[in-house]
Amino acid sequence: MKIRKIAGALGAEISGVDLAGGISADQAAAVRQVLLDNQVIFLRNQRLTPARFLDFAHQMGEPVEYPFVKGLEGYPHIIEVKKLEQERSNFGGIWHSDTTYLEEPPMGSMLLAREVPPFGGDTLFANQYLAYEALSDTMRRLLDGLVGISSSAKADVSKTREDRLRTDARESGPPPEYLAEHPVVRTHPETGRRCLYVNVAHTSGIRGMTAEESAPILEFLFAHQVKPEFTCRFAWEPDSLAFWDNRCAQHNPINDYHGFRRVMHRITLKGDRPR
């Protein structure tokens, strides 16, 4: 197994691993350590059936179902993330951490490229350890005691789901609204490091503050936490796989390929309650 960092902030590409043939427990532990060290990892040329994809996910954690979109036939834990030629919005097309509106947001997510456009469709990732550590001591002391409110119905992200809810919704009718409260700064349960845990897609306020009071704090954080020096960028190829740590990294799929199809398979892994 070879590891190559792709940026100064986060991200590493792993080569010399064939997930289609299966990996040992020791190899799985090594891969997971690379994830903890780099927040997001990438493996190319992984020609995986849904069953093999799910096998790898089980080695990394516990797959869970996504709340809004139904899974593949026979594989409820694998959803299809796609944008078709005639569509204008891309699923989750905004900076975010996945489903922070749940009481126990996911530990991580995996995305496997099935079809990619001839250009565009890259994904950006941002290191939330670095974003927190770059703040002043005074700002860190302020944020350490705050609790953010996350909503699944925030307009910034709801519109990115419209195409998929129209065709692949888990149930008919308007989607349910989920609300959860989590620390603005969380401690990673495995590394012990502190990181920012708000995001523009889902964080709608701060507990105990009026909207007018919380807005300038959140607007500052939303801009700060995705500064270029905290990010990396991944260019997809068919059969590429990305696996990110949702507890300390954000991501943003770039919507710059109108008129072309992009189809990915995604698995979400169970997390715990942020502290």
Active site residues: 96, 98, 251, 266
Taking alpha carbons only, the member of 155, 117, 132, 129 closest to residue 253 is 117
